[in-house]
Amino acid sequence: MVKEEAEKKAFDYFQSGFHCAEAVSKTITELFAKESSSDIPKVASGFGGGIGRTHEDVCGALTGGVIALGYLFGRIKPGESFQDAWELSSEFRKRFIKKFGSANCQTILKGFGEQENNIKCKKLAANAAGMLSEIIIEREKEIKQGEEVC
- Name the nearest CA neighbour of 105 among 84, 128, 135, 136: 128
Rounded Cα gap, residues 146 and 20, in angstroms: 34
Alpha-carbon dihedral of residues 110, 114, 118, 123, nearest 10 degrees?
A: -70
* Enclosing domain of residue 110: 2-149
**How many domains does the chain fold into?**
1
Q: What predicted TM-score, i.e. pTM, was given to this entire model?
A: 0.94
Q: How far is CA 106 from the centre of its chain?
A: 18
pLDDT tens digits, residue range 65-115? 999 999 999 999 999 999 999 999 999 999 999 999 999 999 999 999 999
pLDDT digits (tens, 9 = 90+) for 26-68: 999 999 999 888 999 999 999 999 999 999 999 999 999 999 9
Distance, CA of 36 to CA of 26 (rounded, Å) = 8
